[in-house]
Copies of this chain bind each other. A is one copy, B any other.
Amino acid sequence: MKVLILGGAGMVGRKLAERLARDGRLGNAEITGLTLYDVVAPQKPAGAKFPVETLTGDLPAVGETDKLVASQPDVIFHLAAIVSGEAEQEFEKGYRINLQGTMNLLESIRTAYDGAPRKPRLVFTSSIAVFGAPFPEKIPDEFFTTPLTSYGTQKAIGELLIADYTRKGMLDGVGIRLPTICVRPGKPNKAASGFFSNIIREPLAGHEAVLPVSDDVMHWHASPRAAIGFLQHAATIDGARLGARRNLSMPGLAVTVGQQIEALRKVAGEKVVARIKRVPDPFVQEIVAGWPRNFETRRSIELGFKAETSFEEIIRVHIDDELGGKVA
């Protein structure tokens, strides 16, 4: 099985590549080659027993996606996107990369696999940003997509296209709407959602973290490890189980910031929690007020997608996977 990861240099792409290298297989199939592609050079994962190729380029450039799928990979993970804030500030760039890039990819697949006995499984990472407030208390599987960002719009369009190309038998697509990934490893960034991870990651590493919203703010989380599990399952699930509705809200955990902090106290103690500084920020508060808080993801759960069921578990995943089991 040949695998292609578009967006292979991002956090999720890198972790997925590491996992594939460690497993050597995807579902029941042995991996025979992996290509990692991104706008910046992806790193080769350690210890892969199969050949790994890394490529750098501009996804929506003319001919680019044709080249990427010419070798007919069996599974294509399309994780490449510019993030929400950037797509909002740079309208043309957002549409060019997140929409034109996806449209080009689908057209290249349609052409490259024309007449091929098997079409590729295309796993597309969508986002809960396809939903826009006001919401019901829990967003059900059949809730409509009225995004309030250009990023969410571009993801919602990607979902529609993937469903249609799949229905027409041109590829075999699955779109998964990821929860906010928490605890996100690495440095604090300027994403408005960054604090959900910062208030856990930084205190655990011995640093202070700023909390700009009140303790009763609820949000929808899954760990990076759960996200990789979603991708693996989406790559291998029988398409017939999905039918025509190819886009799924992934399971996650709805917790308030107060519950996050309580879990941190249980796992790491008061000394660590004391590193969280409350600095209310009306700008961040207003952005967050428009975000989904909670979901009823019956369908993805029935289909076997699994997320954490407690925030302690999410914290322990971070401590295991990123901190070698140790708290500062």
Residues of chain A touching chain B, judged by Cβ–Cβ distance below 8 Å, are 91, 132, 141-148, 150, 153, 156-157, 160-161, 163-164, 167-168, 244-245
Contact = CB atoms under 8 A, between A and B. Distances in A.
A150 B168 contact: yes
Contacts of A142: 143-144
In this complex, the member of A143, A156, A168 whose beta carbon has the largest number of chain B beta carbons within 10 angstroms is A156
A122 to B, nearest CB: 16
Contacts of A167: 148
A245 B145 CA distance: 10
Given A153-B160, A153-B161, A157-B157, A91 B144 contact: no
A144 B147 CA distance: 12
A215 B135 CA distance: 39
A153 B163 contact: yes
B146 A144 contact: no
Contacts of A147: 160, 163-164
A123 to B, nearest CB: 19
Nearest to A130: B160
A148 B244 CA distance: 8
B153 A164 contact: yes
**Could you say which of A144, A147, A245 has the most chain B C-beta atoms within 10 Å of its C-beta?**
A144
Contacts of A145: 144-145, 160
